[in-house]
Structure 1
Amino acid sequence: MPPIPDARRRALLKAMPAAALAAAVPAIVRAQAWPTRPITLIVPFTAGGATDVQMRALCLAASKTLGQPIVIQNQPGVSGTLGPAAMARSAARDGYTLALITPALFRLPHLQPVSYDALKDFTYIIGLTSYVYGISVPAGSPWKRFGDFIEYARANPGKLNVAAVGTGSLGQITVRRLEQQAGIRLNFIPFKGGADALSALLGGHVDVMIEAGWGAMAEAGKVRLLAVAEPQRLKRWQAVPTLRELGYDIIVQSEIGIAGPRALEPAVVATLHDAFRQATSDPGYVRALEAESMPNRYMNTADYQHYAASQFASDKRLVAELGIRLD
């Protein structure tokens, strides 16, 4: 909030009734002074993964605008909802504790009892980007094309171990949809975060990863990207086909953003939004996104709030249509 010129402030205060003056002055002071101490951002995945790297770059840039450090707290679990749910349940409504939000927050309530209300317990601040889901294998894998993987899976039902993040996640949904459409049976292995899934892939503990977070390792030549679950081929990976091109009606778009607990003051929300919005142009953050071929897909506060509501409704329909359960 920009400072109010002295002459205007004096005229405003002189014209106010005493009761209104008493209420307004603290609000003006709070808006101008905030923040006065470090802010915590809960990242609901393990340290070292693509999301963690991106958020550290974003927070470093935003902290320069806010004048206070933003401390990353990694809190993985429950398909990326454990940390945000804890924030919604126990964090003070002062803007000093925030959480990174993934679409699992909107889907999980339709799969199991949860401790939060996705539409009432959060103040949605800003939309940032979306994960790019790909089907990747180790560089030494015998499968050079996506068709090779499918052919082997058909000949060996249930023998291929496939990694993704979390039970009930978009990764698992993609695995199940691919099984249905390709007529194959895979052994789904859930992990707490993308870094864990990627480590398992590189270590030979799983055969395939159907997940985001493959970009840096693909660039380094350590994993081979067989296909992407995007509407179009990626600019950086033009030789890699989309699942739709290959005959599978599967597109995955997984928006992520930042939220606080419910009922944050509008002035605090605006301050946070503007700082993070400016930070999305920071070269370090842009490079971190580009390493994973992820778009810089900004949504303002109102648009992100609308997205949350529409995604919640969409996931309710999807879970019912596919008969997805947490076994």
Structure 2
Amino acid sequence: MTHSLRPTTRRQWLAGVSAAGLASLTGAAQAQDRFPSKPIQLVLPFPAGGSFDPVFRSLAEAASRELGQPVVLMHQPGAGGVAGTANLARLSEGDGYTIAVMHNSVIRAPLVQRVSWDPLKDFTYLGSLFGMVTGVCVARDAPWATLADLMADAKARPGAISWGNVGAISINRITAERLARGAGTAFNMVSFKGGAEAFQALIGRHLDVYGDPGFGSQVQGGRVRLLAVFMDQRLKNYPDVPTVKELGYPFSIDSPVGLVAPKRLPPELQQRLHEAFRKAATDPAYLKQLDLFDMVPQVTSPQEYADYARAQFGRDQKMLAEIGFKLD
């Protein structure tokens, strides 16, 4: 035997369901309004002591003030700065409490090694922050006063001059290989875990050339000499240092750095984090660190950064095909 609800009971039941649904939505909205309610972990995929360390430490302090919760730096180095960020790609969804530094080596990773994640699908992009500047540096007492001196010596002694970089799959390593090939020579490529280790080797004359970003404090301190930069224009801090293009080599490097969260991060949390870090990126202490390491402010929206990643993946795919690179 079946029983139907009486009219008054049905109305009461529907009203109860509506109230419960409204309470649920209100609770969810309040929970989102309270974000963040605990510290946020910012994964830095490089060792402590490099140029990224003081830059992101100052940014994290500024972002903490914007968010009302600590932003805690977590160093997770490995695989040329790819491993720490890649760990987020393996999470099923984001809650806003774990984010990571994104750079082009992570975007490029599936093109040069076998990975189980997709940089275009497995992250929520929060926006870019700054652009890195790649320079060609030697020790202050090295025998090369100019890039022309260095390349002439490299041509006379193929494979004898060591060229350091952070990460075997970095664009800086790939571009240095192309530079050598275009000049009809080769360098002995040496990968380091981070910039601090590489500069120590360079200054101690255990390494001949270092070709990565983060050279500013070393050059300004007189410990190393900057021969050229992989830029379209000269740097304002070093107006006498030429670009590689000026010297007849058609290479420049575009290397924005930004932030990502795991995939499926709710849009309102994505926007909350973006706005907080966008405001933090105007902090004078952070901007001073960028200037010290010759990094250039380059703040974009989440959509602009995601669009850049997709376009950069295509550019790298084309570039690797042109140099004959094949994935083993």
- TM-score, normalized by length of structure 2? 0.92
Counterpart in 1 of 2:248? 247
Partner Cα separation in structure 1 for residue 189 and residue 57 of structure 2: 30
Q: Cα–Cα, structure 1 residues 326 and 143, in superposed 2: closer, same or farther, change >3 Å?
A: farther
Provide Cα deviations, 1:161-199, integer angstroms capped at 9, x if missing partner: 110011111121111111111112110001122222222
Partner Cα separation in structure 2 for residue 283 and residue 191 of structure 1: 31
Asked if 2 retains the 8 angstrom alpha-carbon contact of 1:168 and 1:325, the reply is no
Counterpart in 1 of 2:290? 289
Counterpart in 2 of 1:3? none
Moved more, 102-111 or 82-91: 82-91
Asked if 1 retains the 8 angstrom alpha-carbon contact of 2:217 and 2:293, the reply is yes
| Corresponding letter in the other structure for 2:306 | Q
- TM-score, normalized by length of structure 1? 0.92
SS of structure 1 residue aligned to 2:90: helix
Counterpart in 1 of 2:45? 44
1:8-27 matches, cutoff 5 A = 17-18=18-19, 21-27=22-28
Provide Cα deviations, 1:195-249, integer angstroms capped at 9, x if missing partner: 2222221222110001111111001111100000000001110000000000000
Q: How far does residue 26 in structure 1 lie from its aligned partner after superposition? A: 2.6
Partner Cα separation in structure 2 for residue 56 and residue 213 of structure 1: 15
Asked if 2 retains the 8 angstrom alpha-carbon contact of 1:91 and 1:97, the reply is no
Partner Cα separation in structure 2 for residue 24 and residue 91 of structure 1: 23
Counterpart in 1 of 2:264? 263
Asked if 1 retains the 8 angstrom alpha-carbon contact of 2:43 and 2:101, the reply is yes
SS of structure 2 residue aligned to 1:80: coil
Asked if 1 retains the 8 angstrom alpha-carbon contact of 2:214 and 2:294, the reply is no
Asked if 2 retains the 8 angstrom alpha-carbon contact of 1:131 and 1:294, the reply is yes
Counterpart in 1 of 2:214? 213
1:96-245 matches, cutoff 5 A = 96-245=97-246
1:310-325 matches, cutoff 5 A = 310-324=311-325
Partner Cα separation in structure 2 for residue 61 and residue 318 of structure 1: 38
SS of structure 2 residue aligned to 1:257: strand
Counterpart in 2 of 1:79? 80
Asked if 2 retains the 8 angstrom alpha-carbon contact of 1:119 and 1:309, the reply is yes
Partner Cα separation in structure 1 for residue 40 and residue 324 of structure 2: 40
Provide Cα deviations, 1:38-97, integer angstroms capped at 9, x if missing partner: 111111111111111111110100001111111111111112110011122147621111
SS of structure 2 residue aligned to 1:259: strand
Q: Cα–Cα, structure 1 residues 19 and 323, in superposed 2: closer, same or farther, change >3 Å?
A: farther
Q: How far does residue 252 in structure 1 lie from its aligned partner after superposition? A: 0.5
Partner Cα separation in structure 1 for residue 105 and residue 277 of structure 2: 22
What is the aligned residue count?
A: 313
Query: RMSD across aligned C-alpha pairs, in angstroms?
Result: 1.7
Taking only the aligned residue pairs, the percentage that are identical comes to: 42
SS of structure 2 residue aligned to 1:128: strand
Asked if 2 retains the 8 angstrom alpha-carbon contact of 1:167 and 1:326, the reply is no
Asked if 2 retains the 8 angstrom alpha-carbon contact of 1:195 and 1:213, the reply is no
Provide Cα deviations, 1:241-291, integer angstroms capped at 9, x if missing partner: 000000000000111100000011111111111110001110111001001
**Which ranges of structure 1 fall in alignment gaps of 5 or more residues?**
1-13
**Which ranges of structure 2 fall in alignment gaps of 5 or more residues?**
1-14
Asked if 1 retains the 8 angstrom alpha-carbon contact of 2:138 and 2:202, the reply is yes
Asked if 1 retains the 8 angstrom alpha-carbon contact of 2:88 and 2:123, the reply is no
| Corresponding letter in the other structure for 1:139 | R
Partner Cα separation in structure 2 for residue 67 and residue 214 of structure 1: 33
Q: How far does residue 24 in structure 1 lie from its aligned partner after superposition? A: 2.1
Partner Cα separation in structure 2 for residue 110 and residue 239 of structure 1: 37
Q: How far does residue 326 in structure 1 lie from its aligned partner after superposition? A: 7.3
Partner Cα separation in structure 2 for residue 127 and residue 319 of structure 1: 24
Q: How far does residue 22 in structure 1 lie from its aligned partner after superposition? A: 4.3
Q: Cα–Cα, structure 1 residues 125 and 98, in superposed 2: closer, same or farther, change >3 Å?
A: same
Q: Cα–Cα, structure 1 residues 192 and 260, in superposed 2: closer, same or farther, change >3 Å?
A: same
Moved more, 110-119 or 82-91: 82-91
Asked if 1 retains the 8 angstrom alpha-carbon contact of 2:43 and 2:100, the reply is yes
Counterpart in 1 of 2:308? 307
Q: How far does residue 20 in structure 1 lie from its aligned partner after superposition? A: 5.1
